[in-house]
Structures are given as C-alpha cells and as structure tokens.
Amino acid sequence: MKTYIALFRGINVGGNNILPMKELVVVLENLGADSVKTYIQSGNAVFQHESENVSGLSSRISAAIKESHGFEPRVLLLDLVEMEKAMASNPFPAAESEPKTLHLYFLASAPQNPDLKMLDSLKKADEQFKLIDNVFYLHTPDGIGRSKLAERAEKALGVAATARNWRTVSKIMAMAK
C-alpha cells in the first residue's frame, strides 16, 4: 500500500461544492482507500491505496465525487516523497515561523512557459516567490488576501494549482507519517 496525500481544489469554499469530510472518507473508502484521515474542511486527505496509477486514481476520485455530490473537484495526489521534497525545498525557511504567510502552490505539472516577469511586477516590496519544479512558493507577510501576486499566480504559471499554507502542509505531513 502506498500513502497518498489528496489536495482537493474548490470544495467547501464560500458555501459552494459542499462535501463534508465524513462523506469524503466514505467516497475514498468505497474506492479502496485505507486508513483515511482528513484535515480541515477545505479538502485535505491522507490515505493508503494499492494503486500505483496516480492519474487514474485522481480521476476515479473526482468521478466518484461527481456521482455522489454532483460536482467534480480537481484532485491533486502526491505521495509522501513528493510532499517531503516540497517541504525540504522551501526557499523561505525564515517564514516558517509565521506559517500563515508562507504558501505552497502545488501544480498539476511543471509550468512550460510561466510569466514570472508579470508576477514580479505585481509583487509588493515585502513579498517573495520562487518556482521550484511543480511547486510555487509564495511568502506574503501582509497576508494572501491582500496580495495581487497571489491572485494572479495560477494564470501566470499557466497550469492548474491548489495552494496550502505552511501550517496546513505541516499538519498534513504529520498525518501522513
């Protein structure tokens, strides 16, 4: 069995695409997942599964949620090694002491032609960002809600993304271990 970390995009946000975590556990278990644990309502799950086909499993999860709840969320699956690498590669370790200001955007794939110049032009003086493989790191000391850079990051990167702050990433990793 392989340990997976599932990051769901756009569930339980602003009263839309409601999927209680207890129901998500049932969906995952019905697909053969074992030892399912969830973290906060925005869609984070850790589970074990025998499948080695990450893309296929992700598609099956999305389809099962569409069947049971009427919407099809994007599901990014990572294994333990990928999450460990993302955390170890953090280019802003000093920001870890304020975990709500450090964000990791997990990308569906490594961007082929990201518009980093545009992002740089939107960056406030105290903001920092770095793209490493398929993770975009963003430090926003004034908060992500005030960041124009954060608002436009996914479009500028040109690939689907889902973001988590350092606190959430750390909690998910603790659950996975």
Total domains present in the chain: 2
What residues does 8 pair with on adjacent strands?
Answer: 75
Structure tokens at 8: 């769901």
Contact 93, 100 (CB under 8 A): no
Q: Which of 82, 105, 136 is the last residue of a domain?
A: 82
**pLDDT at res. 43:** 87
Per-residue model confidence as pLDDT tens digits over 56-101: 999 999 999 999 999 999 999 999 999 999 999 999 999 999 999 9
Between CA 37 and CA 91 the distance in angstroms is 29
For residue 71, which of 138, 18, 124, 114 has the smallest C-alpha distance? Answer: 18
Residues of the domain holding 112? 89-176
For residue 74, which of 15, 132, 129, 154 has the smallest C-alpha distance? Answer: 154
For residue 7, which of 131, 175, 138, 157 has the smallest C-alpha distance? Answer: 175
Between CA 130 and CA 104 the distance in angstroms is 10
Per-residue model confidence as pLDDT tens digits over 161-177: 999 999 999 999 999 98
- Average pLDDT, whole number, for the chain? 94
Contact 163, 108 (CB under 8 A): no
Q: Which of 82, 107, 140 is the last residue of a domain?
A: 82
Q: Is residue 78 located within the same domain as residue 93? A: no
Between CA 52 and CA 39 the distance in angstroms is 23
Q: Is residue 142 located within the same domain as residue 112? A: yes
